[in-house]
Amino acid sequence: MLRVMVFILAAGPAFAGALDLDGTWHVAEVLAPGVSVGESDLSIRLQGKEVTLSGARLQLPGGLFCDMAPAQPVNLRDDAESFGSAGGSWASVGLVAGQGVYAVEMSALDCGGEGPLELLVQTGSRAVLLDLGDGLYARLMRPES
């Protein structure tokens, strides 16, 4: 089973922050904050592509739509629960820690056959990440105007 999470560090209708998430996001690079097993089929398909957020929906390349559930607050840590015994850091994928935790909001995405997926938002850092499973995260950025 492939697990995909999106980390969008701003806010949209399902999130408490004040920044607008709606629009197009470019998959700029794939990162591994800890140990990863290498590339996944999804990471290869997404590299250099775009995803679109509109209201409580995410559209992946190929026209797959994902419905977004209301966000819930989550505190992530640089620990074995997140990265296993090999270690890693959320800071390496753009999250900013406060008092030893990376406070984010998480929203489950219903994408039909792809996933499960989750959208995470950390308003202050503005980093945007898509969790591709297997320790891989795609950095999402707004295309330059």
Q: Count up the domains in the chain and report the number.
A: 1
**Domain-embedded: residue 130:** yes
Distance, in Å, from the CA atom of 59 to the CA atom of 87, rounded to the nearest integer, reads 32
Domain extent for 116: 4-135
**Domain-embedded: residue 75:** yes
**Domain-embedded: residue 84:** yes
Distance, in Å, from the CA atom of 129 to the CA atom of 121, rounded to the nearest integer, reads 9
Between 34 and 29, residue with greater pLDDT: 29
Distance, in Å, from the CA atom of 46 to the CA atom of 106, rounded to the nearest integer, reads 21
**Domain-embedded: residue 145:** no
**Domain-embedded: residue 140:** no
* Three-state secondary structure call for residue 109: strand
* 61-96 per-position pLDDT tens digit: 888 898 988 988 999 998 877 777 777 888 888 899
Q: How far is CA 137 from CA 54, 55, 87, 131, in A?
A: 21, 23, 15, 4
**Domain-embedded: residue 144:** no
Give the pLDDT of residue 51.
92
* First-residue to last-residue Cα distance in the chain: 37
